[in-house]
Every structure is written in structure tokens, then in C-alpha cells.
Structure 1
Amino acid sequence: MIPEAEVFLLADQAAMHVLTRIPGERLDTLLPPVFDMPGADRPTPLREVVAHLAYDEAWIPDLLAGRSMDEVGKDAYDGDLLGDDPAGNLTRLGEAARAAARTVTDREAPVHCSYGVCATWDYFWQLNVARTLTAHDVAAHLGLGSPLSEELSRRMYDGSVPLAPRWREIGVFREPVPVAGDASWRTRYLALTGRRA
């Protein structure tokens, strides 16, 4: 398994830990924007956040197997993937995505994303950033502690430092927040993304 896939296992579990525990009565509350990218820079109902992650998870096994969306069928995972059991269905999709991630051994294998082709390591890093920041922001929105462990945060920090200028330029990261030299890895990673722990 490649290192980026190892991080994905941790990041995906952190996201699942939070998103499968959202109380039903909170699903219609609005989450402030996680990213500042065009189209994502608006408050979003938590139900839509969970549905988007479910859609993302559903595609992972196909994309990691080298299939394109055209081959699978662009509408293969359209519709309601959550049904009457959002937590259970999201858990099932997550388990399949993580199982697929465990089989990946080629960092440079092409992944056919909706916007074009990228290397597998880059695809994983996009997934990892999306999951960690969504998990953290949803937990903060619900008044829960951050689900980002020190191990996950350290690996996210180390992997994100060289990519941070690119992420900042397109609105995934915000301007960094200063931190103390002895700050935890979680604080450092969140500060790199423009968040306070």
C-alpha cells in the first residue's frame, strides 16, 4: 500500500467517525464553507455534505481500479445513496473505498477524475484533505472535539506543506495561522489550512 493510501485510511475513518454520528435533527443545519473554491464557498446543509461524501466514496473503487467515469457510466452513482439509513449506507461505502485503497501499490497510476487524469498519489491527497477538513469542520459545527489524531495530523501536515501554495491558490487552504513552536501536530496542520484548533 502506498503512503498516501495509508493516510487515506486514517482520514476516511476520521470523516466516518463524525459524519455517521450527526443527529437526525441537525442534518438540515448549515455548515459554513469548508473551502473557498467557486461553487463550494457557500453554507451547505449537513445532509448535502454527507450525501456528497457518499457519492465520492462510491466512485473510489472504480477510479482506483483505473476505470473512467465514462466506462462506469457517469450517472452510476447519481441519486440518493443514503436512503433511510444514512449512517449505515455511508459506512458501507466507506468500507468498500478503504478496501480498494489497501490494494494500491503504484503511486503514479493514472486516475480518471471528473476534471481530468491525475496520478494516484495526487488523487489520494485530494481525498485526504477533503476528509480531514470536512471532519474537523463538521465536528466543530456540532460542538464536538476534533477527530484528527496526532498521527493523522502529523502525516497531513508533512504531506501538505509542499502542496500548500497550490491548495491556497485554488481556495482549498486559507491563509496560514501563526502557531507556537511547541504546538501539537493537529494545531500545526489546521493552522497550515487557515484554521485555529
Structure 2
Amino acid sequence: MMTIDVREAYRRALDDFGALVHRITPEQWQNRTPCVDWDVRALVNHVVGENLWAPELLAGRTAADVGDAFDGDLLGDDPLKAFDTSAAAAVQAASDEGALTRVTHLSFGDVPGEEYVTEVFADALIHTWDLARAIGADERLDPELVEACAAWFAGAETGYRQAGVIGEQQPVPSDTDAQTRLLASWGRRG
């Protein structure tokens, strides 16, 4: 269960990710990230792709309806503009009347829009840490967003792990802070 409005959490997570995107220097686009096989450019491209999918899925379209429109390089010659434009569209789509109650058709089945927005919020939050780590920025995540994500992920972790979309749970001491525990549950080593 989310401890704050999921639309607000999603907007804030994308804002934090975007702030880091704007700090990427030309030589950092090739830096490795904690995400296996992704450099910084691939990570940002992934988030832009998710942002582009959000308006489509929240409008009730299916993956078949959209096809391969968001495959490949979505950043082009202006990655900052690509991110900013996609994030604004995603946040707007999540805020639209009825978006949270509308059926969203995902690859694994139909879910309410609220569940989908929660999933993309969590992904944006975790990838904010990934990007910060990759470019040597401050890795501290918004504590309120960490709390909200952890509350939701406690019920979703098993399904994510069984689907193979997150890494193995990392061991952490019992007195570890909330952010480190959350990252460990997503398979990240803090």
C-alpha cells in the first residue's frame, strides 16, 4: 500500500531522475550502470521508453496496438529533450481523469491503472539510484519515496523475482537503513 498519492510519487521520481539526466556529461553516457548490460545511455533510453508507453497503456491501448513504435534508440541527438518530453507526457497521462481506475493491458495481464503507475514509479525510483551510482552523483533517494516504494514492494517482490525482472535479494544487516534494504530487495548492492 502506498503511503503517498502514487501520481505524486511518480512525478517526484521522474523529477529526481530527470535532474540526474541533466547532469550527465558527454563522457558519462558510456559509463556502466548497476543494471547488467546497460550503460548510462541504455538506462536513460529504457526510462524514456517506459515514459512513452505510459500514455498509451493508460489510455487503454495494448502492446499489440502500439507495436514496435518504442523499440530502439529513443534518445536521438537530444537525450535531454527526449527525456523531458517523455516524462511530461507520462506524468500528464497518470494525472488524467480516470487513469488510475482504467484497465491497463500489460504483457502479463490486465491491471488497474493505479497498479501500473505504481510499477513505473518504483522502476523510476530504483533507476534514479542506478543513474546516480553510474555518474558519481549523490545516491540518496527521497526518503518518502523510498518508504512508499518499500510499502508497495513488500507485496510485489515475490512476483517480480519469479518473473526474473529483478536481481537476487542481497544480504544486508538487520540495522540497515530503509534505502539500502529497498535496493537490496531489488538486487542492488549499495
Aligned counterparts, 1:27-176, within 5 A? 27-33=29-35, 42-71=36-65, 73-78=66-71, 80-103=73-96, 105=98, 107-171=100-164, 172-176=166-170
Q: How far apart in 1 are the matches of 2:122 and 2:167?
A: 9
Q: How far apart in 2 are the matches of 1:65 and 1:8?
A: 17
Percent identity between matched residues is 27
CA drift at 1:108:
4.6
State the Cα deviation string for residues 9-51 of structure 1 (Å, max 9, x = none).
2222222222332212121233243xxxxxxxx3222212222
Question: Is 1:8 aligned to 2:21, yes or no?
Answer: no
SS at match of 1:30: coil
Q: Are the aligned partners of 1:150 and 1:184 in contact in 2 as well (CA < 8 Å)? A: no
CA drift at 1:79:
5.1
Structure 1: runs of 5 or more not aligned:
34-41
What TM-score does the superposition give when structure 1 sets the normalisation length? 0.79
SS at match of 1:58: helix
Which letter does structure 2 place at the counterpart of 1:190?
L
SS at match of 2:30: coil
Structure 2: runs of 5 or more not aligned:
none
CA drift at 1:78:
4.2
Q: How far apart in 1 are the matches of 2:110 and 2:145?
A: 27
Which letter does structure 2 place at the counterpart of 1:126?
E
SS at match of 2:104: strand
- Give the paired residue count: 186
Q: Are the aligned partners of 1:11 and 1:131 in contact in 2 as well (CA < 8 Å)? A: yes
Which letter does structure 2 place at the counterpart of 1:66?
G
Which letter does structure 2 place at the counterpart of 1:10?
R
